[in-house]
Amino acid sequence: MIVGIGIDLVDIDRFERTLARTPRLAERLFSASERERKPRSLAARYAAKEALIKALGGSDGVHWTEIEITPEASGRPWFTLTGSTAEVVAARGITTLHLSMSHDANLATAYVVAEAGHAPPTVPGASA
């Protein structure tokens, strides 16, 4: 069952200027391995983290560096959560997070769907 949806859009040039103006910001937002990526990829990861917070319904107990976007072998992006952020997600009953990210035309976007367990299938005429 879907329990949350989040989407975010980031202007890549503006994001890059912000990182240049505030060098320590990257350390507060991204893991060491994420910081090795190009600005357009960081912008998409920032959008993913914002979209996750929206899907969760808020940022209580969520910490930016405890959210890492890691690619699967296929290249599909996936959330790797640690610390209190992983605890918050588990406490809300979320069992699966779906993530889609893209960047083009100087914009980066991300979409997140949070699922919690699965409701039993409904069969017409069946009683519970």
Which residues belong to the annotated binding site? 8, 50
Residue with tokens 């959008």: 47
Which residues have CB under 8 Å from 27's CB, separation 6+?
Answer: 35, 65
Binding site for Mg(2+): residue ranges? 8, 50
Strand partners, 25: none
Handedness of CA 29, 30, 36, 41 (dihedral sign): negative
Question: d(Cα 56, Cα 41) in Å, to the nearest integer?
Answer: 23
User: Rounded to a whole number, what is the distance in angstroms from the first to the last CA of the chain?
Assistant: 18
Phi, psi (degrees; rounded to nearest 5) at 12 = -65, -45
